[in-house]
Every structure is written in C-alpha cells, then in structure tokens.
Amino acid sequence: MGKVAAKIKVMPNSPDVDLDALEEQLGESLPEGAKINGVEREEVAFGLVALYPTVIVPDGSGGTEAVEETFSAVDEVESVSVENVGRI
C-alpha cells in the first residue's frame, strides 16, 4: 500500500488564536499512521491566518477523511478543507 500527501487548509475561528499551539494540537490529534510533513501559514484577511499542514496518510479506504474529522474536532478550528492530494 502506498502513501498519499494531502495539503489541508485549517481555518482558526478567530485571529486571536495562538497558531503555534493550534499547530501542536493538530499534530497530537492525528489518527494512527498519519503524520504532518510541514505546515505553511497564509494570511487570509483582517489578521486571520490559515494553517496549511501537509499530511502523509496511508493510501487506503477513507483517504483523508479521518484526518479531516480529527482536525475539525480540535478546539479553535472553524473549518477544514482538503486543498490538494497526490500519491507519493
């Protein structure tokens, strides 16, 4: 079974969110077999900054759904969306 790299957009629910702490919480929330391979930040508007972690997951049934669900359950996360997916 191969692996898939997914770039996921994570929007915090406020510009006041500590992005370093949020990034750490995302890493701790990952399901088994998944890992973060770098995180980019992009200013969206009015001081709001989106996180773009690149997550490596096994290429199996469900794909990135488990990661999306765990990221969505993290406090201070407004929304989660997959931006890009590719096999590695």
Question: Which residue(s) pair with 58 in the sheet?
Answer: 3
Nearest-angstrom CA–CA distance, 11 and 32: 23
Q: List pLDDT tens digits, range 7-58.
A: 999 999 999 999 999 999 999 999 988 999 999 999 998 889 999 999 999 8
Return the CATH number at 55.
3.30.70.60
State how far the Cα of 64 lies from the Cα of 4, in Å rounded to an integer.
Answer: 9
Range of the domain at 45: 3-87
Q: What is the number of other CB atoms lying within 10 angstroms of the CB of residue 46?
A: 6
The dihedral of CA 62, 39, 51, 20: what is its sign?
positive
Instruction: Read off the pTM.
Output: 0.92
**Look-up of token digits 């490596």:** 56
Tell me what the mean pLDDT of segment 52-75 comes to. Answer: 91
Please give the tally of structural domains in the chain: 1
